[in-house]
Every structure is written in structure tokens, then in C-alpha cells.
Amino acid sequence: MDFQNRVVVVTGGAKGIGRATVESFLNAGAAVAFVDTDKEAGDKIVSHCEAGDVYFHHGDIAMEDVLYAFAEAVKQRFGRVDYLVNNACVSKKGILSQCSYQDFNYVMALGVTAPYLLTSLFLPVFTADASVVNIASSRGFMSQKDTESYSAAKGGILSLTHALSISLAGKARINSISPGWIDTGSFHNEEDYHPQYEAADLLQHPVRRVGVPDDIVQTIHFLCSDAAGFITGQNFTVDGGMSKLMIYHNDHGWTYNPEAE
């Protein structure tokens, strides 16, 4: 898709899906501002950028002052925002790992509060066809054990998405994407990365493969484009169909082997 003369903001843009998003929009002709805690990885993206206008802000958006500083820098440099991609989040595990009060609230600040506040801060400079894409997760509605911090944050951003879509009706479209298993190894400073999967890793996905960052990037592009002009308040699960697969012990080759307690 062509995003010439568009301004895109991406959080957590130095690695993984965030990096893939930054690079894809730059390649499509957009100007991109991104924020991340990994200074080396962020600087590397800027140094390798051969075309387009890119701005990297080093900082932790779980901190309120960083959010304000980043938003102000974007406004000063670009003057407007067409698309906001709220991608940044981490896991501090959960109750079985004794995830602390501080750790749990850190994940909430990064994964829910930061997207809310950035959307608020950029609201005055959103263009007429602005789009916000929140990166949620299939873990927002299904879980493995000891994932409470991350799962709660992703559940929160799912709810934030539909709430903002109503509050910002006529001002911006707000949607979310829930990735499943996305192999981001090639976007984590790993040279010549070659994934190694077992056959079951592929076959457990109805599409018969593990996801790659471009699967999410293409969905982001769609939701930002005019083709999605009638879509807001929605969540798009991009997981190769894995969350639709019903699993029973000893059925169709599936066997549950619980760990010894």
C-alpha cells in the first residue's frame, strides 16, 4: 500500500512486530516516529534508513514524563499524526512467579495506560482520517498458566479499543489486532535467523504454518488504509486459526501430559 506523506507513530518500534511495522511504513513512503527502551536497536534502524523521515525517541513509555516528551517531540517535528500503532508491552509473568504489585502495575502502565494517554495526547493533531491500531493478543481471551500480567494488559487493551472507538467517533477509527504465535526472530538483531519447528508446531495451525511479522504488518496497513474506512471498534485475531481449534485429550492425536505437581 502507498502511504506517501503520511505520519505514523509506533510504540515499541525497535524490535519484533514494532520494528517490522516501522520499516514497512518507511518503505511505503511514510514518515515514522517510534519510541523504545532499546537505544542501540532504535539507533540502528535510523542509521540504516535510506529513505523517508524517521524519528527515534529513546525512553520507557510506562513513565508519564516520557509519554509527554515523546508526544511533544512528534508534534514539534511533524505537526500531525495520521496513524498511531500502540504496540509496546512486556510480560512480568503472574501469580505462580509471585509477580509483584510493582511489576503487575508496570505491565498495565505500558500495555494499557500508555496507549490511552498517547491517544489522548495526539487527539488534537489527528488528521481527518486518523486510525489507531492497538496490538492486543490472543492471550487477551485465552491463556497458559502464569501469564496474568500480560494477559490482563491485553484484555485491557481490547476493552480500551472499543471504548475509544465510541468516544472518538468521527475523530479517529480505533481497532485492535490479536496476534497468535508470531515468530519475530528475524527482527531481533539476529543475523541469518533460521527458525526450527517441529511438524506439530505447523500442523496445530489450521493454515499449517507459524505466523511471521508481515502477517501482522499487512493487517495494520489494511486497518490504516481507506479500505477499512467503515471499520472501527473491532478486534482482528490473526493467529492462523489456532484459537478456533477445539482440543480434547486423546482426540485427533492430541494428548495432554500434565507436569508433575
Task: Output DSSP code: residue 189.
Answer: T
Place of cell 514539534: 76
Nearest to 243 by CA among 217, 211, 214, 220: 211
| Annotated catalytic residue within 55, 83, 106, 150 | 150
Q: State how beta strands 235-238 and 7-11 pair.
A: unpaired
> Which letter, b or e, does each residue of 193-224 get, where b requires 16 or more Cβ atoms within 10 Å of its Cβ?
eeeeeeeeeeebbeeeebbbbebbbebbbbbb
Q: Quick check: is 150 catalytic? A: yes
Q: Are 89 and 111 in contact (CB under 8 A)?
A: yes
Q: Residue written as cell 505466523?
A: 211
Q: Give the C-alpha distances (Å, rounded to integers) separating 4 from 29, 45, 109, 123, 190.
A: 4, 19, 33, 21, 30
Write the single-letter amino acid at 20. Answer: A
User: Hey, which residues are catalytic here?
Assistant: 150
